Amino acid sequence: MEKPKFYLGSHVGMNSANDYLIGSAQEAINNGANTLMFFTGAPQNTRRTETSRLNIDKFKSMLIENEIDINKVICHGPYTINLANTVKQETFDLGVRLLKEELLRLEEIGVHTVVLHPGAAVGAPRELALKSIAKGLNMVYKELPNTPVRVALETMSGKGTEVCITFEEIKTVLDLVEAKDKVGVCFDTCHMHDSGYDVKNNFEKVVEEFDKVVGLDKLMAIHLNDSKNPISNHKDRHENIGYGYIGFEALANVVHNPLFKDLPIILETPYIDGKLSPYKVEIEMIKNNKFTNPFKDKELI
């Protein structure tokens, strides 16, 4: 298999109606993607289907047949996990349990990277929240010392009391994590823009700052999203590629940057009118490095 110039895909569904992981793989293939990201269950609840029903063997076969490297496939952890919560012990405990279960499920599936929202301080001091994230991760990896599944903490926009909105906050967590080789970072371009990093005009400087504070060796994945809001608005509202305040050129440059050639890059842009998937068109545009204004009813910023 010839090594691609980059790994580009999108979030895809994973549900019973589409035969679970078979449908996930097929959606990525239909989109012309060479990577993908899925949830192992509904992100807002704790219910999960038994892995024996997920069609794992067929999923792996489909990936091989379509030259998609499973090592570049990633999962998104449930939104119900909030390891930053020091106010409610039961919320923290639930997060630890769910994350441990998620790592075990992914080990069975054969996908070894899970992106995790670091969580929110919910009124407690931010420093305590950051220490709590590391504490939760340490508890999980002490129980699963041999798991190959890594956690990529997502850069956040600063909505509400979210933490890990700066590289310094992320470094605070990573410095306290004991399993150094198991925990890293996932860039989200919309979140970074909304938190104040100039993804549009000076992404090179942003990357240099990340490398200085955290280290590029800690970057495990990228979520590629435009933003509906001006920089530093702390809103976290994703927009389709080329229709937001970051713009097509800056986002396409992220994908085509050789620095990121080995990382899974995942689109999480909104469906058109809530119905039409944008991913096939967006992937094609980015591959060709040319904006074609495919969703003409959308307003260009």
- Per-domain boundaries in the chain: 7-288
**pLDDT tens digits, residue range 230-276?**
999 999 999 999 999 999 999 999 999 999 999 999 999 999 999 99
Does residue 3 register a pLDDT over 90? Answer: no
Nearest to 263 by CA among 28, 34, 31, 14: 34
Q: For position 262, what pLDDT does the model report? A: 98
Q: For position 1, what pLDDT does the model report? A: 61
The annotation places the binding site for Zn(2+) at 76, 117, 154, 188, 191, 223, 236, 238, 268
**pLDDT tens digits, residue range 176-191?**
999 999 999 999 999 9
The annotation places the binding site at 76, 117, 154, 188, 191, 223, 236, 238, 268
Q: For position 132, what pLDDT does the model report? A: 98
Identity at 139, one-letter amino acid code:
M
The 3-state secondary structure of 69-126 reads CHHHCEEECCCCCCCCCCCCHHHHHHHHHHHHHHHHHHHHHCCCEEEECCCECCCCCH
Partners of 152 in the beta sheet?
115, 184
Q: What would the two tokens of residue 104 be?
A: 């075990």
Does residue 225 register a pLDDT over 80? Answer: yes
Q: For position 195, what pLDDT does the model report? A: 98
Does residue 216 register a pLDDT over 80? Answer: yes
Percent of the chain with pLDDT over 90: 94
**pLDDT tens digits, residue range 116-138?**
999 999 999 999 999 999 999 99
Q: What is the CATH code of the structural domain delimited by 7-288?
A: 3.20.20.150
Please state the φ and ψ torsions of residue 288, each to the nearest 5 degrees.
Answer: -85, -5
Q: What would the two tokens of residue 234 be?
A: 């702390």
Q: For position 169, what pLDDT does the model report? A: 98
Does residue 2 register a pLDDT over 80? Answer: no
The rounded distance, in Å, linking the Cα atoms of 250 and 276 is 24
Cβ partners under 8 Å of residue 4, min gap 6: 34
**pLDDT tens digits, residue range 65-102?**
999 999 999 999 999 999 999 999 999 999 999 999 99
Inter-residue contact 219 to 184 (CB < 8 Å): yes
**pLDDT tens digits, residue range 145-165?**
999 999 999 999 999 999 999
Mean pLDDT of 9-15: 97
Q: For position 105, what pLDDT does the model report? A: 98
**pLDDT tens digits, residue range 93-111?**
999 999 999 999 999 999 9
Mean pLDDT of 24-32: 98
The rounded distance, in Å, linking the Cα atoms of 67 and 270 is 27
